[in-house]
Amino acid sequence: MNKIAVELNEVLKGTVADRLFSDLGRRFYFPKGIVAQSVEAGQKATTYNATIGMATDGNEPIYLPSIQKFITGLSVSEVYSYAPTPGLPKLRAAWKKEMEGKNPSMKGKLTSSPLVTSGLTHAIQTAADLFVDKGDKLVIPDMFWGNYRLQFEERREAEIVTFPFFNEQGGINLSGLEKALRSTGKKMALILNFPNNPTGYSPTQGEADAITALLKKLADEGNNILCIFDDAYFGLFYEEETCKESLFSPLADMHENILAVKVDGATKEEFVWGFRVGFITYASKGMTAEQYEALQKKTMGAIRSSISSANHMGQSMLLRSLDDPDYTVEKRKRFEILEERYRKVRQVVDSLDKDSPLHPLPFNSGYFMTFKTDVDADKLRLHLLDRYGVGGIAINPDHFRVAYSSVSTDDVEDLYRILDKAAREIG
């Protein structure tokens, strides 16, 4: 094992991160190689800097005018130069400030600094590399984003253990969650995605409290728990009773046996799907600033070995946006557009005839809602495409997802009329 990895492991010895590391995570480190030496040279090389593999003219990167003519408002360095492996320092600080503003109970709690990843997908994969080994079991609700299978089952060769997401009352199935976690052994790993893709459901405040109480109880029993919170659609909460904070917040300092990992990003929160700017942040009760720094360096090793660094221009533009005086007002207006669509969908879905082959699962947030179908969902998908030119997603044979986020409010009623009609036609 590399000497630097050994040193970082020693700093983290005794922490829940140390107890949860995968074999790969234990071996990760951030090398004192080209990147680290280039950073040092950037501070001290006042005569010539012949370190980084980048073509420059004077102190600025060389660029093509045919590209530059499409870019305004950013300096050449903000666009073309490599970003640091952990991300732009000012953006990381700004994002942490944003996180604390959106999650008031985070204030005063010691966490790591967010590290920038190439989108939220890469943040999840980074967590998987660090903490999930071949043969490990990962607990996920049965309604989950299909990419988890590629990330955890195929890439990391872990076993996904699911539980029915909803109970008979239409709330989160807490007993199913507990049963699934207890089936995995003393190393427990869980990923929760709220607002959920594909159902568009987020817990009520009572359900959120019950989930965190359950995790504390399991930690009190001596289990080491990895809690990954996929907050891709964070903030798109439309009902009063819905919990408005990430579960990362209460778990940040709940127990020495719980490692909370928040993966989020600009993708949906800032309406910049193609920027590919995500973040990963850690928290656990009792971890020190020195230990967080060691964990960050291991994470930097994971980032360095996979993508080197995330898109600089996307980071620069996001940072400029967060500093813009119109940012808050603009975000609110976009939220209101999606909330209006949600309200219309809710109205239409609640008025469906009881004999409809489409039965909505609970939804209250995010981009989506999902139907439990009495007909084959893929046959419905193909029939909608071939006869009506309407697209949707067959999650499995019994469930059909509708992304109402991409349908204007004026078209919602017609869309759902077609969905119902098509389902009856193949029923």
Query: Exposed (0-12), middle (13-18) or buried (19+): which is 241, by Cβ within 10 Å?
Result: exposed
pLDDT at 6: 96
In whole angstroms, what is the distance from residue 265 CA to residue 200 CA? 18
By DSSP bridging, strand 60-61 and strand 56-57 are antiparallel
Q: From the CA atom positions of the chain, what is the Rg in Å?
A: 23
CATH architecture of 3-30+85-322: 3-Layer(aba) Sandwich (3.40)
Asked whether 127 and 280 are in contact (CB, 8 A), the reply is yes
Give 211: exposed, middle or buried? Use CB within 10 Å, 0-12, 13-18, 19+: buried
The domain locations on the chain are 3-30+85-322, 327-426
Q: DSSP strand E in 22-148: where?
A: 56-57, 60-61, 115-117, 137-141
From residue 180, alpha-carbon distances to 174, 201, 230, 231 in Å are 10, 20, 19, 22
The CATH superfamily assigned to 327-426 is Aspartate Aminotransferase, domain 1 (3.90.1150.10)
Q: Give the Å distances, CA to CA, from 106 to 167, 249, 250, 254.
A: 30, 5, 7, 12
Render each residue's pLDDT in the chain as its tens digit; 427 residues: 999 999 999 999 999 999 999 999 999 999 986 666 666 656 665 565 666 777 888 778 998 999 999 999 999 999 999 999 999 999 999 999 999 999 999 989 999 999 999 999 999 999 999 999 999 999 999 999 999 999 999 999 999 999 999 999 999 999 999 999 999 999 999 999 999 999 999 999 999 999 999 999 999 999 999 999 999 999 999 999 999 999 999 999 999 999 999 999 998 888 889 889 999 999 999 999 999 999 999 999 999 999 999 999 999 999 999 999 999 999 999 999 999 999 999 999 999 988 999 999 999 999 999 999 999 999 999 999 999 999 999 999 999 999 999 999 999 999 999 999 999 999 7
Q: Which helix (H) or strand (E) holds 291?
A: helix 289-306
C-beta separation of 352 from 419 below 8 A? no
DSSP string across 103-128 = -GGGTT---PPPEEESHHHHHHHHHH
Cβ-proximal residues to 314 (8 Å cutoff; 6+ apart), any chain? 266, 272, 275, 276, 277
Q: pTM (2 decimals)?
A: 0.93
